[in-house]
Amino acid sequence: MTYDERLQNVSVLGAAGKMGSGILLLTAIEMVDRSLQPENKGKTFVLNAIDVSDEALAGLMDYLKVQVRKIAEKKTVWLRKMYADREDLIENFDIIDEYIFAVIRMVRPVTSMEEAFRSSLVFEAVNENRALKVKLLSRIKENSQKDVWFFTNTSSVPIHLIDEEAKLEGKVIGFHFYNPPAVQKLVELIKTDNTKPEVEEFARQYAANLKKVVVSSNDVAGFIGNGHFMRDGLHGMKAAAKLAEEKGLPLYEAIYMMNKITQDYLVRPMGIFQLMDYVGVDVMQFILNVMNPFVEDEDLHSDLLDQMMEQGVKGGQFSSGAQKDGFLKYEAGKPVAVWDVQGKNYVPFEAFSARCDEMLGSMPGSVVAWKATLRMKNKEEMLRRFYTDLKTTETLGSELALKYGKCSKKIGEKLVADGVAHNAEDVNTVMLTGFYHAYGPINAYFD
C-alpha cells in the first residue's frame, strides 16, 4: 500500500477533543492535498471524525470550516494550479470555497466506532485512559477489514503496553503532537521494539509533509517532554515548600516567588506554576500517576497537587481557550493572585508581592526578556552574559534561579542517562520547540 493509498480511509478517535480536533484538521489538509494531485483525481478519500457526542462533532465541523478557509487563503497560488482544469472556478473565492467543500465532503463526523473498521490508519486521541484506549484499539483491530495502523497521541502510557494489550502486532507508533497540534511544530515519535519499520517510515513521511520537527523518544512513560516538564513541575512545588519553610513564609508567597524565578530569571515564556495551570493541575496529577509505577528511583507524586485537587482548584482551559484559575488566578489572561491552600482562597498579588520582590533582590542589568530572545541573533551571548552576572549577584533571587537551572539540567541529563532520550540535543530540541524555552536545559549556563 502506498502512502496515498493508506491515506484514503483514515479515522480520528476523539476528534472533537483538544488534540483530536487539531489532528483532524492537519490530517484533513494532508488528505485533501493528496487527493488533488493529478494521479489521485477520481479517487475517494474518507476521513472519519469519531467522537461520543453529536453536539461536539457539530462544533468541530464549524471549527474545521473556519480553519480550512484560513489555510486555503494562504495557498491560493497552489490551489489555482491544482484546479487548473476547472473552468468554472474563476475568482480566488471560488477556488477557496471549492477547497473547503472538498474537505467537508471528505470528513464524516460520526459517533459510531464501526466506521473505523474500514480505515487503514487510525489516529487515537481519546482521553488519557489506558483501558479506554486499549478497548477501542483492540475492537478496531479485531474487526478491521484492512491492514490497519495506529498512531496514538498518548502523553504518558508506554506504547508497547498499548500494543501488547490491544494486540496490535507492532502496527502502532506513538505520534505525540503538542497542544495545539496545528500550531506546535514538535512531534515526539515513539516506536517500540515491535513497531514495524513501514509504520515508522510512513509516520516520518506524514510528519515531514506536515512540516513538523520530529524528535524520537524511547518508549518510557512520559517520553521526553512530559519526562522533563513533570519533574520540573514537581521540583517547582518542592522548591516553593522549602523556601516557605526556610524563610517562614506562607506557601502562597513562596509559590509567587518561584513562579517569578522560573519565568523572569530562567527566561521562560511563563513561570512553572502558570505552566502547570495551563496544562491543568488534574492533567498533571493524572500523568504523574501514570508515570510513577514505571520509575524505580524516584517518587513522582506531590501532596500539594492532591490538596489542590481535593479543593477543586484545577486550572486548565475553558473551551474558549481562556485560562481557568489554578495555582494562580487570572484576569484577562494575566496572573493576579495565588491560591492559599491553608485559607482556601486567592490572595491578591498586591497584598504581598512588593515584599517578596524585595526579598528576591534586583536582577542584573544584563537581564533579557524571554520574548526579546526570540528575535535575538546573539541570544547565546546575551544569555551567557546574564547568567555570568547572576553568579556574581548575591541575592536570594539569583541563588534560587541558579539552583533551579541546575536542577532542570540534571532532569534533562537523567533523561539521557536513563535512555528516555537518545542524546542531550533531543532533550533541548523538545524543550525549545515544544515548550518555547529560550535555551535547552542541558547547557553550560549553570555550571
Ligand X SMILES: NC(=O)c1ccc[n+]([C@@H]2O[C@H](COP(=O)([O-])OP(=O)(O)OC[C@H]3O[C@@H](n4cnc5c(N)ncnc54)[C@H](O)[C@@H]3O)[C@@H](O)[C@H]2O)c1
Q: Report the interface residues with ligand X, using CB under 6 A.
A: 13-14, 16-20, 50-52, 56, 125-128, 136, 153-155, 176-177, 179
Beta strands in 6-116 (DSSP E): 9-13, 46-50, 107-110
Q: How are the residues of the chain apportioned to helix, strand and coil, as percentages rounded to the nearest 5?
A: 55, 15, 35
Phi, psi of 366 (to 5 degrees): -80, 5
Q: Find the residue with minimal CB distance to ligand X.
A: 17
Residue 19: CB partners within 8 Å, gap ≥ 6? Answer: 125, 153, 177, 179, 180, 181
- Residue 140: CB minimum distance to ligand X, A: 11
Host H or E run for residue 400: helix 396-417
Least spacing, CB of residue 78 vs ligand X, in Å:
30
Shorter beta-carbon distance to ligand X: residue 179 or 366: 179
Which cell numbers hold the place of 284? 498533571
d(CA 371, CA 220): 33
Cell triple for residue 190? 515513539
Please state the closest distance from residue 320 (CB atom) to ligand X, in A. 14
Measured from the CB of residue 285, what is the shortest distance to ligand X in angstroms? Answer: 13
Residue whose CB is less far from ligand X, 22 or 397: 22
Q: Which three cell numbers stand for residue 96?
A: 477557496
What is the closest distance, in whole angstroms, from the C-beta atom of residue 135 to ligand X in the complex? Answer: 8
Bond from prior residue into 180 cis (ω within 30 degrees of 0): yes
Least Å from the CB of residue 355 to ligand X = 35
Of 17 and 326, the one with the shorter C-beta distance to ligand X is 17
Q: Which residues contact 309 (CB under 8 A, 6 or more apart)?
A: 281, 282, 285
State how far the Cα of 43 lies from the Cα of 209, in Å rounded to an integer.
20
- 365 to 144, 277, 386: CA distances (angstroms): 63, 30, 8
- C-alpha grid cell for residue 432? 525549545
CB closer to ligand X out of 109 and 441: 109
Rounded to a whole number of angstroms, the minimum distance from the CB of residue 183 to ligand X is 12
Smallest gap from residue 252 Cβ to ligand X (A): 26
Angstrom distance (rounded) from CA 106 to CA 114: 17
Please measure the distance between the N-terminal and C-terminal CA atoms of the chain and give it in whole angstroms: 52
| Residue for grid cell 532520550 | 421
Provide the minimum distance between the beta carbon of 51 and ligand X in the complex, in angstroms, as a whole number.
4
Q: What angle (nearest 5°) sits at the alpha carbon of residue 347, between those of residues 272 and 335?
A: 40
Size (the chain), residues: 447
User: Among residues 315 and 412, whose Cβ is nearest to ligand X?
Assistant: 315
Which CB atom, from 349 or from 435, has the smaller least distance to ligand X?
Answer: 435
- Nearer to ligand X by Cβ, of 177 and 446: the residue is 177
Between 224 and 257, CB nearer to ligand X: 224
Residue with smaller CB distance to ligand X, 252 or 327: 327
Which strands make up the sheet holding 334-340, listed edge to edge? Answer: 328-331, 334-340, 345-348
C-alpha cell at 302: 506531590
- β-sheet bridge partners, residue 369: none
Nearest-approach distance from CB 277 to ligand X, in angstroms? 13
Please, where are the H alpha helices in 172-224? Answer: 197-209
Whole-number Å distance between alpha carbons of 177 and 125:
10
Task: Give me the least distance between CB of 71 and ligand X, in Å please.
Answer: 21
Of 16 and 68, CB closest to ligand X: 16
CB-nearer residue toward ligand X: 99 or 223: 223
